[in-house]
Copies of this chain bind each other. A is one copy, B any other.
């Protein structure tokens, strides 16, 4: 944490980037560029690589020292990491990976060829190998996957002086060591000893007397999301992870792992809502981008096709009154927008655990209330506009009524879709926007054209 430049800002990095580009043009400066890359923090080097198009990225990657490749790969986004790993042979990959700690290797493992992972496992000392196997065994999205093994443990029955001596022997404490974990002879967690408390306490006292006994504990099987909420709620820097059955200390989670997890989750949600399967390398080849995007476009195509068939069923009515064709997308569009508002709010509240089963009815009533208000106001306005444009009171009335009904449909489905998905144990967020839009499109066309057919023709 010590030797960074004094003021780290996006502009500095962009300045670096420009320098790198200039250097790449004059290849005789490769040595100088290499020296500069050596000085960059791994996260900054990763940032630089992400912001370069593929060709230049590979040129720069070729200048990175072998022993730094591992720590830089760790900091890269998945898509860019893959683009680099694809260019490395097994030997290089093993060399890059070996420099990392067990929990870091486990983070990289899903992107590495199986043979490389096996080679790395074989090359590790026994103790590290046990940790790596443990780290590899945890599913993504669990505390086990967030965990590292850099915890510093001290025994309950020693003096603070002895504990301090032990720490000095370690020379340097691992990053994010804000507290020591206090264990008994069997390795069972007894409590925690914050460094801040260690420093201000009398060194003659026993660890067991100074420690905080009832600290937050996590288990490897806990959901990462719950751990993240715990960190946020109680403003933690680190938390011990203990085995659910034996209660022994197996690792720790630190706030930086939690913060990465939160950013990643929020990026995933944002991308999924726009119909991207995963984070995309901005400079990905066309074909990779296509693969990342086609699935949601295909789903959208199907829902659009269904909506189109609903319209097709009313072709006779449209033929007689062509104004319907121009008006129907408004009804569908506003319904979709309003439904998305409802569903987004409810999905968020569900994720935060704010909706208890007893209150669903209350929610439905509220959402139908908002929809009615919207329907009366916007429906009335549009009905009026329709009357002014087409000179037909009846058409205006059908427009207004269709708006109101489609907004009520949107509100109902906006509550029902996440409710049912949560009930069925699915993630209420995934594809919620596609589902609600499908309902309000087909539903909106059906309601509007149906009402028109009934009352106008």
Residues of chain A whose beta carbon lies under 8 Å from any beta carbon of chain B: 1-10, 13-14, 17-18, 21, 41, 43-44, 47, 50-51, 53, 164, 167-168, 170-173, 175-178, 194-200, 212, 214-217, 222, 226, 229-237, 255-256, 258-260, 262-263, 266-267, 269-271, 273-276, 280, 282-284, 286-287, 289-290, 293-294, 296-298, 300-301, 303-305, 307-309, 311-312, 315, 318-319, 322-330, 332-334, 337-338, 340-341, 343-346, 348-349, 352-356, 358-359, 362-363, 366, 369-370, 373-374, 377-378, 381-382, 385, 389, 433, 441, 445
Measured in the bound complex, the distance between the Cα atoms of B274 and A343 in whole Å is 9
Extra contacts, 16 of them, besides A232-B256, A283-B362, A324-B325 (Cβ < 8 A), are A2-B214, A4-B214, A4-B215, A4-B216, A9-B226, A10-B226, A14-B353, A47-B354, A167-B199, A172-B200, A255-B255, A266-B270, A276-B341, A315-B326, A318-B325, A322-B325
A147 → chain B closest CB, angstroms: 16
What does DSSP make chain A's interface, helix, strand, loop or mixed? helix
Contact present for A329 and B355 (CB under 8 Å): no
Measured in the bound complex, the distance between the Cα atoms of B70 and A98 in whole Å is 51
A164 → chain B closest CB, angstroms: 6
Q: Which of B5, B217, B308, B381 contacts A326 (CB 8 A)?
A: B308
Chain B neighbourhood of A366, CB < 8 A: 283-284, 286, 289
Chain B neighbourhood of A356, CB < 8 A: 14, 17-18, 51
A211 → chain B closest CB, angstroms: 9
Nearest CB to that of A289 among chain B residues?
B370
